[in-house]
Structure 1
Amino acid sequence: MLAALAPCRAEFALRDGDRVSLGDSITTAQLYDRIIENYTLLRFPKLRVQFFNAGKGGDTAAGGLARLERDVFARKATVAIMVFGTNDIGWGVKADEEHRQKYFAGIRGIVEERNR
């Protein structure tokens, strides 16, 4: 989706510096990350962007929050791409309100920690 929207914008969201992807096994597989990285390198070849994969298979938003300092902040990340949700709801098996609220709490926690 980023690739589809970026050409429409006057200014690209990424800047020179380090970038991190934080997420679950979908991030670990490097599919979404690789699409964003390849698009960035091809569309903006002079932009010095370094991508790190901080994905962890089976992780949840709460797990991402727990390792935020070690895997994102300690690496001096300036952008974090969050990919969570699939494991939070057990591939749809645990899509009840309790699991949804745990997911939202984890995402809110990550955003709040970033804004400190």
Structure 2
Amino acid sequence: MIGTFKQIAAAVIATVLLALNAHAQDAAEGQRLFQQRCGACHQIDSTRNGVGPHLQGVIGRAAGSVDGFRYSSAMQGSGITRDAVQLDTYLTNPGALVKGTRMTQRFPKVDERKAIIDFLATR
């Protein structure tokens, strides 16, 4: 009985460690993709706004709420709170979710969106 418990505990721990490692790899890939595809418009390491608003703390934040950034009225009135599911939908096709948004960049690949979102969740 104790041997079985130890085997189950070891399997659970191994599964958790693999999941954490996969998440870390996704976040690292997300950082690369962010710098490549988003970094020209958005800051992540500072709260300075550029062409787009900074994205520090974007998960859990109301869309259109960064002080000092001039959002479209569509984004300000969207009523969206950013979470992983909502960001996935938004990054797939921003204009379909928020008609009138100024963001036009789309991310058609599921794995790229997931990696970017995992990275944003670490900031």
Give the TM-score normalised by structure 2.
0.27
Larger Rg: 2
Give the TM-score normalised by structure 1.
0.28
